[in-house]
Chains A and B, each alone.
Chain A
Amino acid sequence: MVKDNATPENLAKATTEEIKRINPLIPMKAKVTKIIEETPDVKTFYISKEENGQMVVPFHTAPGQLAMLSLPGVGEAMFSATDAPDHLQLSIKKVGTLTDELHEIVPGQTVGIRGPYGNGFPMDQIKGKNVLFIAGGIGLAPVRTAVRYCVDHRDDFAKLHLVYGSRSPADLVFQYDLFETWPAVRDFQVSVTVDRGDDNWKGNVGFVPAFLEELKPNPDNTVCIICGPPIMIKFTLGILDKLGFTAENVITTLEMRMKCGIGKCGRCNIGSCYICLDGPVFTLAEMKKMPNEY
């Protein structure tokens, strides 16, 4: 129950007897196997667990789900995670004590990991549709979990389009995906913009909302997945509305402080939703019904 099918509906129905008895607060011991320096303040950590002498993925995550990463003796925090056959990828920006320390570690470091947490993107419901991904800055990390899913299941989806922006060319994360992997995928338009260019930047310069307005993506049979800084989201939602995207077809993730990850410790609620359990993924239509307190 816990690991296989933790949708909010199922969780709501789950009785004591149906819940698998594990101690959900204890991290699983794992190792950092690879660290990619994405930008000056973002690194991607590959995390695997050792099992019978093999390095394997600690647990599988669905697109949009979260993992609680801890550095022993430093702290623990929740991050968006995407899985591969033998590892989890967590892309982490330096913003506080824990993330500062994480940026100092080297491959081979022991870390603790627990999860997966949260509902994830409703990929089944998006099947057969066009998907418009919009991301700003480190917001590409959660969006990328869905992009990877769509690329891996390319035939299940119609056209793919990613609109991504960052402060400067140096701040673009996942450049290997942006400029190599994804443009090679069939029917996948990748549109990148930066707030300020540099001498070598040949691409678009401008903020995401304005760039999106120029690109004029077609809302017909299209679902939009958007993550980024609140200010970008705020203005982009206005453009999406103008372009004709309905609130039901705009999906985003919400962020709150989390400690337990399992809907017990209280702090991550927005109204009666716990973001760690019922989120972090919500449609704009759902968010409109929630108190504006995030």
Chain B
Amino acid sequence: MKAFPKAKLQEVLKTLASKGTLYVPALVDETHRYYPYRADIQVSLEQNSAISPKEIFFPSTEKIYNFTAYGIDGDYEEILPDRTACVLFGVRSCDMQAILCMDDVFLTRGYIDEYYATRREGATIVALGCSKAGADCFCSSMGLNPVEHEGADAQLYDLGDYYGIQGRTEKGEKVVEALAVAGLLSESSAEVLVPEEFVLQVDSEGIAEKLQAMFEHSLWDQLWRKCINCGTCTYLCPTCHCFDISEKKKNQHCGVKIKCWDSCMFNEYAMMAGGHNPRPSKKEKVRQRFMHKLRYFPERYGKYQCTGCGRCIAKCPVNLEITDVINQVREAKVNG
């Protein structure tokens, strides 16, 4: 397969960055997330980013329209992101699968979210196969192959001293071609490195079906007890897509409407005018999160809404682990 030496990574990135915005996982101020590439940025491909790449297509806050209100008059003015091309470099299988989950939500079922679509359509995703499982990774348990993902435009493989690269789509081939033109590619027959057995494993098969009859199960009476209802799990999750439409007022006459991340863990999330909350306590909120990931989403879109990236497990303040929930569901007795 075509390959480039790891030592030439910076040249590869420079080449790609010369064609448009290039997002790379990097460490800036001790935060590991995707940043637009700069020559002085500390690129880090050792492990997956702490913050998922979902924020590139679905930023935590974005402006959607300006509004004005003068007396009985008012107006709306659309704000759309620029439709520019970008490359996401180094996306792991878990995050690639998560992008497909996001695509299902934002691009299908009758309506397209123009904000997501505009960013997503211009993106070329260069995935990176994992040769080492992270401490909290369990993508293989969610049916993914850590080494490659067919949803990517191009796939990188860890060949030891080299990264192998294969184009999958027209957009991906362009990336390969750009690197070839720059003289960075050679042929390599080295074996693709694969991760050793995952420390964290769980059997997720049939969980969605089993949960069908478990909405009222006593399991949910216990799971919430240590949860603090913070939004860490949902904000780090590469598939959690809930958002709020809120606003920032500039003055009493004008302001901007914003679309910003929201979390089913928060009390305001489902609170209705008049004060009724269909999911009033921690129990209902915790149940909603896991049911959404493991039953509702599969029922609607035919895939789990958990890709085994392990970010929620790594950062949950109380170690409420989705793998443990899956195990408990598997072991639970269901009447009838």
- A: residues with CB less than 8 A from B are 1-2, 6, 10-12, 14-16, 19, 21-27, 29, 71-77, 95-99, 105-106, 108-112, 255-257, 259-260, 262-272, 277, 291-294
Contacts and interface: CB of A to CB of B under 8 A. Distances in A.
Contact of B243 (A106, A265, A272): A265
B203 to A, nearest CB: 23
Given A73-B252, A96-B273, A267-B242, A26 B111 contact: no
Contact of B76 (A29, A97, A99, A255): A29
Contact of B274 (A2, A95, A291): A95
A26 B273 contact: no
Contact of A263 (B67, B110, B249, B271): B110
Given A21-B112, A262-B110, 12 more contacts: A10-B110, A27-B76, A72-B68, A110-B69, A111-B74, A112-B67, A256-B272, A259-B243, A260-B113, A265-B242, A266-B243, A267-B242
B64 interface: yes
Interface stretch (B12-20, B101-109, B139-147): B101-109
A12 B109 contact: yes
B119 interface: no
Contacts, number: 157
Nearest to B253: A73
Contacts of A97: 273
Counting chain B CB atoms within 10 Å of each CB, the highest count among A14, A98, A106, A111 belongs to A14
B149 interface: no
B291 to A, nearest CB: 8
Contacts of A29: 74-76
B273 A110 contact: no
A21 B83 CA distance: 15
B300 interface: yes
Contacts of A256: 270, 272, 278
Interface of B: 64-65, 67-69, 72-76, 78, 80, 105-115, 215, 241-245, 247, 249, 252-255, 259, 262, 264, 269-274, 278-279, 284, 288, 291-292, 295-297, 299-300
A11 B109 CA distance: 5
A71 B73 CA distance: 10
A19 B272 contact: no
A72 B76 contact: yes
Contacts of B264: 266-267
B300 to A, nearest CB: 5
B108 A23 contact: no
Contact of B259 (A12, A14, A25, A71): A25
B267 to A, nearest CB: 11
B111 A2 contact: yes
B242 A110 contact: no
Given A14-B108, A25-B245, A26-B65, A265 B272 contact: no
A293 B300 CA distance: 18
Contacts of A96: 273-274
Counting chain B CB atoms within 10 Å of each CB, the highest count among A21, A22, A25, A27 belongs to A25
Contacts of A277: 109-110
A15 B74 contact: no
Counting chain A CB atoms within 10 Å of each CB, the highest count among B106, B110, B255, B264 belongs to B110
29 contacts: A1-B110, A10-B110, A12-B109, A14-B108, A16-B107, A19-B112, A23-B78, A23-B114, A24-B113, A24-B114, A25-B113, A25-B259, A26-B65, A26-B76, A29-B76, A72-B68, A108-B72, A110-B74, A112-B74, A257-B270, A259-B245, A259-B262, A264-B106, A266-B264, A267-B269, A271-B296, A291-B215, A291-B291, A293-B279
A257 B271 contact: yes
What are the nearest 7 A-B pairs in CB distance?
A: A96-B273, A266-B242, A72-B74, A11-B110, A110-B74, A262-B111, A272-B296
Contacts of A15: 108
Contacts of B72: 105-106, 108-110
Contacts of B105: 263-264
Contacts of B243: 259-260, 264-266
A161 B255 CA distance: 48
Contact of A72 (B64, B75, B271): B75
